[in-house]
Amino acid sequence: MSDVEMGMVKAADPGLVMRALNEYLARGVVLGRRVTTMLQEELGAGDKKKLAEEIASLKSLRESDQQSWAEEKKKLEAKVKRLKLSLNGAEKKLKAKQPTSYIRRSLCLDVYDNHMLDVAEISRLMAEQEVMMVGNEETVVTTPLANADEVMPEGEDGEEDAEDAEEVDKEANDEVAD
């Protein structure tokens, strides 16, 4: 403070100075509150502006993402459609190459006499085999033992007859296996 100001303060009434001081302090408090409120409003308005800008940028980002997702979805749907069409075409070609009887047999196959056969064929073969066994049992005739000279004519050793019997036996087994 300057000397002039100091002189005025000393010459003034102390009560008057105190009232002026109180008045200025009260006005300072009121002005401080008002300035604080104004600053808060400005900050709120600034935050609102920032938030509005952020919302706008997020909306534009969302729209661009939705567009890219829609494009990608269309591409994937087209790819799925192409794959389904190619799969259907391959299935049609496969069905055309496979005979229908193969499908029936493939479901009804079994192993019989070391061969993969249809179940119906197996039952037919088993029935034929039983008929042959029963037929063979009924037609078996035994001959009494005789001299070997009487059974075999002279000059023959009986090998041809044995070979013929083996061939007949093999043919019978092959027919049963088929």
Banded pLDDT at 16 (limits 50, 70, 90): confident
Residue 152 confidence (pLDDT): 53
Sign of the alpha-carbon dihedral angle for 142, 144, 148, 152: negative
Please determine, for residue 144, whether its predicted confidence score (pLDDT) is greater than 70: no
Q: What is the pLDDT of residues 20-64, one digit of tens each?
A: 889 989 999 999 999 989 888 888 777 788 888 888 999 999 999
Residue 146 confidence (pLDDT): 52
Banded pLDDT at 17 (limits 50, 70, 90): confident
Task: Tell the residue number behind the tokens 């073969």, with chain if given.
Answer: 125
> Rounded CA gap, 14 and 9, in Å?
8
CB 113 within 8 A of CB 177: yes
**In this structure, what token pair is assigned to residue 45?**
């308005």
Please determine, for residue 66, whether its predicted confidence score (pLDDT) is greater than 90: yes
> Rounded CA gap, 51 and 140, in Å?
109
